[in-house]
A and B are shown apart, each in its own frame.
Chain A
Amino acid sequence: MRSMLTVFRKELSDDFTSLRFLILFGLVLLAGIFSVYIAANTISSNTTTEVSSFATNSASQFIFLQLFTISSESLSASFLTFITLFVPIVGIALGFDAINSERNAGTLSRLLSQPVYRDDVINGKFLAGVSTIAIMLISIVLLVAGIGLRIIGVPPSAEEVIRLIAFLGLGIVYGAFWLSISMLFSVLVRRIATSALASIAIWIFFYFFISIIASSIAGRIAPISDSSTTTEQLKYLAVNVDIMRISPVYLFQEASSVILSPDSRTLSELIQIQAQGLQAWMMPSPLSVAQSIIMVWPQIVTLIALTVISFAISYVKFMREEIRST
Chain B
Amino acid sequence: MPAVIEIKDLTKTYDNITAVNKLNLEIGESEIFGFLGPNGAGKTTAILMLLGLTEPTSGTVSICGFNATREPLQVKRITGYVPEKVGFYEDLTVHYNLLYTAWLNNIPEQQIEDRIKTALKTVGLPNAANRKVQQLSHGMKQRLAIADVLVKNPRIVILDEPTSGIDPEGVVQLLELIRKIAQEQGMTVILSSHQLPQVQRICTRVGILSKGKMIAEGPLDQLGRKAFGGSEFRVEVQVSEVTSIIIDAIKSISGVTSTEALGKDIIVNCERDLRPQIAKAVIDNNGQLIQMKIQSYSLEDIYLKYSGEV
Listed in ascending order, the chain A residues whose CB lies under 8 Å from chain B are 2-3, 6-7, 9-10, 14, 102, 105-117, 322-326
Question: Closest CB-CB distance, A151 to chain B, in whole Å?
Answer: 40
Q: How far is the CA of A109 from the CA of B48 in the complex (A)?
A: 9
A114 pairs with B76, CB closer than 8 A: yes
Does B87 belong to the interface (CB within 8 Å)?
yes
Which of B78-86, B174-182, B219-227 lies at the binding interface?
A: B78-86
B84 pairs with A325, CB closer than 8 A: yes
- A110 is contacted by which of B54, B77, B81, B90 (Cβ under 8 Å)? B81
- CB contacts (< 8 Å) of A3 on chain B: these are 104
- CB contacts (< 8 Å) of A107 on chain B: these are 87-89
Q: How far is the CA of A76 from the CA of B54 in the complex (A)?
A: 55
A114 pairs with B54, CB closer than 8 A: no
Q: Indicate with 1 or 0, residue by residue over B41-55, a CB within 8 angstroms of chain A CB atoms.
A: 000110010010110
Interface centre among A9, A112, A114, A324 (most CB of B within 10 A): A114
Question: Closest CB-CB distance, B38 to chain A, in whole Å?
Answer: 14
A106 pairs with B73, CB closer than 8 A: no
Question: Closest CB-CB distance, A115 to chain B, in whole Å?
Answer: 4
- A105 is contacted by which of B53, B74, B90 (Cβ under 8 Å)? B90
Question: Closest CB-CB distance, B50 to chain A, in whole Å?
Answer: 10
- CB contacts (< 8 Å) of B79 on chain A: these are 113
Using A106-B87, A322-B14 as known contacts, say yes or no to A115 and B100 having CB atoms under 8 A apart.
no
Q: How far is the CA of A111 from the CA of B83 in the complex (A)?
A: 11
Q: 23 A-B residue contacts at CB 8 Å?
A: A3-B104, A6-B104, A10-B100, A10-B103, A105-B90, A106-B87, A109-B81, A109-B85, A110-B83, A110-B88, A113-B51, A113-B76, A113-B83, A114-B101, A114-B105, A115-B73, A115-B106, A117-B73, A322-B54, A323-B54, A324-B44, A324-B45, A325-B44
Q: How far is the CA of A108 from the CA of B87 in the complex (A)?
A: 8
Question: Closest CB-CB distance, A9 to chain B, in whole Å?
Answer: 8
A109 pairs with B53, CB closer than 8 A: yes
Q: How far is the CA of A114 from the CA of B104 in the complex (A)?
A: 7
Does B148 belong to the interface (CB within 8 Å)?
yes
Query: In the complex, what residue of chain B is closest to A325 when comparing beta carbons?
Result: B44
B77 pairs with A115, CB closer than 8 A: yes
- CB contacts (< 8 Å) of B48 on chain A: these are 323-324
Q: How far is the CA of A106 from the CA of B144 in the complex (A)?
A: 14
- CB contacts (< 8 Å) of A105 on chain B: these are 87-90
Question: Closest CB-CB distance, A219 to chain B, in whole Å?
Answer: 49
B85 pairs with A116, CB closer than 8 A: no
B53 pairs with A6, CB closer than 8 A: no
Query: In the complex, what residue of chain B is closest to A7 when comparing beta carbons?
Result: B104
Query: In the complex, what residue of chain B is closest to A108 when comparing beta carbons?
Result: B87
Query: In the complex, what residue of chain A is closest to B82 when comparing beta carbons?
Result: A110
Question: Closest CB-CB distance, A100 to chain B, in whole Å?
Answer: 13
Question: Closest CB-CB distance, A325 to chain B, in whole Å?
Answer: 4
A326 pairs with B83, CB closer than 8 A: yes
What is the predominant secondary structure among interface residues of chain B facing chain A? mixed
Question: Closest CB-CB distance, B64 to chain A, in whole Å?
Answer: 14
Question: Closest CB-CB distance, A37 to chain B, in whole Å?
Answer: 36
- B104 is contacted by which of A106, A109, A115, A326 (Cβ under 8 Å)? A115
Using A10-B100, A105-B90 as known contacts, say yes or no to A325 and B106 having CB atoms under 8 A apart.
no
B103 pairs with A6, CB closer than 8 A: yes
- A113 is contacted by which of B14, B44, B53, B90 (Cβ under 8 Å)? B53
- CB contacts (< 8 Å) of B88 on chain A: these are 105, 107, 110
Using A109-B53, A323-B54 as known contacts, say yes or no to A115 and B76 having CB atoms under 8 A apart.
yes
Query: In the complex, what residue of chain B is closest to A114 when comparing beta carbons?
Result: B104
Using A116-B104, A322-B14 as known contacts, say yes or no to A110 and B87 having CB atoms under 8 A apart.
yes
Question: Closest CB-CB distance, B148 to chain A, in whole Å?
Answer: 7
A106 pairs with B83, CB closer than 8 A: yes
- CB contacts (< 8 Å) of A106 on chain B: these are 83, 85-87
- CB contacts (< 8 Å) of A10 on chain B: these are 100, 103
- CB contacts (< 8 Å) of B51 on chain A: these are 113
Question: Closest CB-CB distance, B66 to chain A, in whole Å?
Answer: 11
B53 pairs with A115, CB closer than 8 A: no
Question: Closest CB-CB distance, B135 to chain A, in whole Å?
Answer: 16
Q: How far is the CA of A102 from the CA of B89 in the complex (A)?
A: 9
Interface centre among B77, B100, B101, B160 (most CB of A within 10 A): B100
Interface centre among B51, B73, B101, B104 (most CB of A within 10 A): B104
In the complex, besides A323-B48, A325-B84, 20 extra interface pairs with C-beta distance below 8 angstroms are: A6-B100, A9-B103, A10-B100, A10-B103, A105-B89, A106-B87, A107-B87, A107-B88, A109-B85, A110-B83, A110-B145, A113-B76, A113-B79, A115-B73, A115-B104, A322-B14, A323-B53, A325-B83, A325-B85, A326-B85
Q: Using a CB-CB cutoff of 8 Å, which residues 134-159 of chain B contact chain A?
A: 145, 148, 152
Using A6-B104, A115-B106 as known contacts, say yes or no to A110 and B53 having CB atoms under 8 A apart.
no
Q: How far is the CA of A105 from the CA of B90 in the complex (A)?
A: 9
Q: How far is the CA of A307 from the CA of B127 in the complex (A)?
A: 46
Q: Using a CB-CB cutoff of 8 Å, which residues 53-99 of chain B contact chain A?
A: 53-54, 73-74, 76-77, 79-81, 83-90
Q: How far is the CA of A105 from the CA of B84 in the complex (A)?
A: 12
Question: Closest CB-CB distance, A69 to chain B, in whole Å?
Answer: 40
- CB contacts (< 8 Å) of A102 on chain B: these are 87
Q: How far is the CA of A163 from the CA of B79 in the complex (A)?
A: 52
Q: How far is the CA of A110 from the CA of B86 in the complex (A)?
A: 7
Question: Closest CB-CB distance, B17 to chain A, in whole Å?
Answer: 12
Q: How far is the CA of A2 from the CA of B83 in the complex (A)?
A: 25
- CB contacts (< 8 Å) of B103 on chain A: these are 6, 9-10
B84 pairs with A326, CB closer than 8 A: yes
B53 pairs with A112, CB closer than 8 A: yes
